[in-house]
Chain A
């Protein structure tokens, strides 16, 4: 177990609604990344937060937004939900920026979002 927790485990929403997903990073980690994993696909990078600021973003529209708090917990907010937003949302924490090779990203178990 990595020490990264996510809540809720599962969530069902309808089109047009808004959703907030939460992630608690592993102790001592100051970087959190969020990924969307559609069924049968690999994870796609949404964005990354480093010391409470967005540090980079993948190819996702502005209705996907996030926050990182001083205790390094994090939220992913999605507005105006669409059917295609149905996916497993993963957060991953690390001690430095993702992509620094040896710095391991520790993934949480994910939140399964279903949009009807």
Chain B
């Protein structure tokens, strides 16, 4: 079955790196995504990774995928107060086009 889990909260100091973790259960995941949701707004796609990749870097964002452990992480370098938001990971499994989202990790960045 499909299940995506994330820790609910992460607090970091401005300028530090943030690492948000996600685990999933379906080994046939084909695409894995990270979305950001700011208060009162919809979801913004930050980045995605194909299941045949181990890592993807996009400016301050680094995504790591460990297929053996079914673990996905999002690292934000030099975290800023504007990065404070809820971050969702989502997967799409082979043969489907319906994304399954985690419950979201609330990132709090303090000075």
Contacts and interface: CB of A to CB of B under 8 A. Distances in A.
Nearest to A96: B97
A44 B43 contact: no
Interface residues of B, number: 23
Nearest to B43: A107
A42 B42 contact: no
Interface in A54-113: 56, 58, 90, 92, 97-102, 104-105, 107-110
A88 B40 CA distance: 10
Q: Is the interface of B mostly helix, strand, loop or mixed?
A: strand
A56 B43 contact: no
Contacts, number: 58
B50 A44 contact: no
Interface in A1-42: 2, 4, 40-42
B5 to A, nearest CB: 10
B2 to A, nearest CB: 11
A99 B2 CA distance: 15
Contact of A45 (B31, B88, B98): B98
A42 B90 contact: yes
Contact of A101 (B4, B50, B98): B50
